[in-house]
Amino acid sequence: MSSFTAYDAIGDRFEVFTDTASQRSVETETFFHMVGDVKGKSVLDLACGYGYFGRELYRQGASRVVGVDISPSMIELARKESARNNEAIEFHVANVCEMPVMGQFERVTAAWLFNYAQSPAELEAMFYAVAQNLQPGGKLIAYTVDPSFRLEDGNFTKYGVHVKSENPHEGGFRCPSEFVTTPPSEFTFYRWSHEDYERAIRKAGFSDYHWQRPLISKTNRQKFPEGYWGDFERNCLQTGLVCTL
């Protein structure tokens, strides 16, 4: 199932998932730590889904927020939510690999975009599209599947994502999975190597990049039994990535 089909089918269930999965709070805290202060800055939010991150950045003072997602149903949810809140956020349905230049932004955010690249060439196309929409010196803040994750070392089910299998695919891995919702919501992601990412980053013209391990706050540690986050830290499915043009 493609990401387009999956998220159109999931619809409202994805919002339920983000409200209930324990990994979500780690993801959001890490994401906003990487983004930093956006007051007065323009932001392009790729793979925006129902618009959560873009709306939060708008509320934090971003001067302009534009959201892009491949799923019409997700963009419809995003538009309805922002209209309800009287937020001046633009939303567009587009495949990032094929979208036109939306502007020259100071920040591009991409939570769960690159893990849907179905080949190294598509991964490169995504990074190139990001670079085309960034001002010189602008930053990409991404959240994606950790290249070091190995299903054989443990699953991620208790944190909200169940990986059903890892299948070799074009030098990486294709991973049929499901969000832990009722009923389960199927989707497929792709895991690419650090080398694949570095090649794509360099080819797109970025001058620098660094990986960011997920941050588990004291509050999150206290919210769950001792040792709950052990598997998460030993074999993490997710990672942050910051690139500077």
Q: Which bin fits 130, alpha (ψ -120 to 50), beta or left (φ > 0)?
A: alpha
User: What pLDDT, on the 0 to 100 scale, is given for residue 19?
Assistant: 53
Q: What is the mean pLDDT of residues 222-243?
A: 96
Q: What is the mean pLDDT of residues 117-144?
A: 98
Q: Is the pLDDT of residue 2 over 50?
A: no
Q: What is the mean pLDDT of residues 215-220?
A: 94
Q: What's the pLDDT band for 15 if we cut at 50, 70, 90?
A: low
| DSSP three-state, residue 155 | coil
Q: What's the pLDDT band for 3 if we cut at 50, 70, 90?
A: very low
d(CA 209, CA 140): 9
Q: Is the pLDDT of residue 10 over 50?
A: no
pTM above 0.95, yes or no: no
Please confirm whether the linkage preceding 183 is cis (ω < 30° from 0): yes
User: What pLDDT, on the 0 to 100 scale, is given for residue 92?
Assistant: 97
Q: Is the pLDDT of residue 20 over 60?
A: no
Is the domain spanning 3-147+193-244 CATH 1.10.1740.10? The answer is no
Q: Is the pLDDT of residue 218 over 50?
A: yes
Domain spans, the chain: 3-147+193-244
Which of 124, 101, 148, 103 is closest to 205 using CA atoms? 124
Query: Phi first, then psi: what are they for 172, rounded to 5°?
Result: -120, -145
Q: Is the pLDDT of residue 22 over 80?
A: yes
d(CA 175, CA 195): 19
Q: Is the pLDDT of residue 14 over 70?
A: no
Q: Where are the alpha helices (DSSP H) in 60-134?
A: 72-84, 120-132
d(CA 121, CA 92): 24
Q: What's the pLDDT band for 130 if we cut at 50, 70, 90?
A: very high
